[in-house]
Amino acid sequence: MVQLTKATRRHTKDHNSRLVLQTIYEYAEVSRAELARLTQLTRTTVSDAVAELIGQGLVEEVGLGRAAIGRTPTLLRVAEDGRQMVVVNISSQELQGAVVNLRGALHGRATRPLTDRRGGAVLDELYPFVTELVERASGPLLGIGISAPGLIDMGRGIVQQTVSFHWQDLPLGNLLQSRFGLPVYLARDSHAIALANYLFGPHEPTTNLIAIKVGWGLGAGIVLNGQLFFGDDYGAGEIGHLVVDEGDLPCECGKRGCLETLASTRAIVGRARSLAATDPASLLNRYAATPEAIDLEAVLKAFLAGDAAVRQVVAEAGRYLGIAVAMLTGTFNIRRIVISGRIAPFGELIRERILSELQRRVLPNLADAIELYVEAQGPDTILLGGAALVLTSELGLVRMIRRSAGPTL
């Protein structure tokens, strides 16, 4: 019984101090008296919680505020570097990482190419990479945030399946946690991007949002009522391996005609290669020694030079994306759709094709209301998504970032 009472008291104390921290975070600079009013806690409780947070290095006192009458109060704010996070995005081509502080400022950015994409080799690169970032931190670490492609069980920190690295039920969270002794949070890359867009996106705040990442792979993340929606098996937004054209191209996942084989940059490059092989006069051959050597950059050059066949290849990818966007719109009726990734330089044509598919496929009222953005978002976006995972899980701070002066993508 005594134990229980103690535990309850501790729980209430933790709850209060978390509430105080969240409020300071939200209001950027705030006095103890204002905190008591905002949280509806007593002044004594607020003072105790603040003392504890200052002791933990999470909160600091700043200059004096203004008071109508009487003594000018001391203001409190979150100590930006009171905790830092190590964040890593595992992409199919490289590792990207940085150290992020409590306000979402990134420093110590680093990248490491992945030359060998077999699962074990990727881990051999990942461990020293994380070590390097941990050493770059200038303050105590709150945790590690990792984003990766594939199906990820966030609750247990397990990569269930990542087709490109042949990872199957890899307990990545535990592996990193035991090696570095820090809490580790894992999410699918497209989920991290959606979270980052919701919290730090450059557009008007919104409660619902779909972010679709289109690069070598393809996937979506969905924010519903201000919360990342994972689905029952963390597979919400897994549209890359949705078959949209049966009997067409084989996919890495073993099926045929997945959206990823038709609308990703890999699909665009693949089509451009066969175009260059069948038509020696194609502009594409000007930008690469052989058709097999054609990469996304060569495709973009031919596209910008106005090559009609290349524009057609890109338009076709846009049409398939439009089919996916139409299905998502019919299902969720979410207006804000952000498409990012290496497809962004083809933006205007992609956007146009998606909008015209929407008009064809969904109710006009829903199609007309769509706010579609196709924009290049660098690695910082996804890294901030990884940081948001840690912040929300460890300190419950995430929903508060939007109102205070956080970074903007």
Q: Which of 251, 328, 337, 370 binds Zn ion (CB under 5 A)?
A: 251
Does position 172 bind Zn ion by CB under 5 A?
no
Decide whether 249 or 409 has the Cβ nearer to Zn ion: 249
DSSP 209-269: EEEEEESSSEEEEEEETTEEE--TTS-TT--TT-BSSTTS-B-TTS-BSBTHHHHSHHHHH
- Give dist(CA 186, CA 192) in Å, integer: 9
Does position 258 bind Zn ion by CB under 5 A?
yes
Which stretch, 24-32, 257-265, 270-278, 297-305, contacts Zn ion (CB under 5 A)?
257-265
Decide whether 211 or 218 has the Cβ nearer to Zn ion: 218
Decide whether 244 or 395 has the Cβ nearer to Zn ion: 244
Give the chain's end-to-end CA distance (angstroms, integer): 51
Decide whether 129 or 234 has the Cβ nearer to Zn ion: 234
Which stretch, 191-199, 211-219, 256-264, 337-345, contacts Zn ion (CB under 5 A)?
256-264
To the nearest whole angstrom, how small is the minimum distance from the Cβ of residue 244 to Zn ion?
10
To the nearest whole angstrom, how small is the minimum distance from the Cβ of residue 78 to Zn ion?
43
- Give dist(CA 184, CA 50) in Å, integer: 27
User: Would you put residue 226 in left (φ > 0), alpha (ψ -120 to 50) or beta?
Assistant: left
Judged by CB under 5 A, how many residues of this single chain contact Zn ion?
Answer: 5
- Give dist(CA 28, CA 329) in Å, integer: 36
Site string for Zn ion, 224-243 (x = CB under 5 A): -----------------x--
- Give dist(CA 280, CA 272) in Å, integer: 12
Cβ atoms of 234 and 188 within 8 Å: the answer is yes
- Give dist(CA 250, CA 353) in Å, integer: 24
- Give dist(CA 166, CA 169) in Å, integer: 10
To the nearest whole angstrom, how small is the minimum distance from the Cβ of residue 354 to Zn ion?
21
Decide whether 242 or 315 has the Cβ nearer to Zn ion: 242
Cβ atoms of 148 and 119 within 8 Å: the answer is no
Decide whether 265 or 282 has the Cβ nearer to Zn ion: 265
Cα 72 to Cα 24, 65, 181, 280: the distances in Å are 18, 6, 43, 78
Decide whether 31 or 190 has the Cβ nearer to Zn ion: 190
**Selection from 293, 344, 286 nearest residue 314 by Cα:** 344
Site for Zn ion in 62-121 (CB under 5 A): none
To the nearest whole angstrom, how small is the minimum distance from the Cβ of residue 260 to Zn ion?
6
Decide whether 159 or 258 has the Cβ nearer to Zn ion: 258
Decide whether 101 or 265 has the Cβ nearer to Zn ion: 265
Which stretch, 86-94, 245-253, 275-283, 389-397, contacts Zn ion (CB under 5 A)?
245-253
Site for Zn ion in 338-367 (CB under 5 A): none
To the nearest whole angstrom, how small is the minimum distance from the Cβ of residue 295 to Zn ion?
22
Does position 266 bind Zn ion by CB under 5 A?
no
To the nearest whole angstrom, how small is the minimum distance from the Cβ of residue 375 to Zn ion?
26
User: Would you put residue 221 in left (φ > 0), alpha (ψ -120 to 50) or beta?
Assistant: beta
**What distance lies between CA 6 and its chain's CA centroid?**
39
Q: Which of 253, 315, 344, 366 binds Zn ion (CB under 5 A)?
A: 253
Please report, as ranges, the residues that interact with Zn ion according to CB under 5 A. Answer: 241, 251, 253, 255, 258
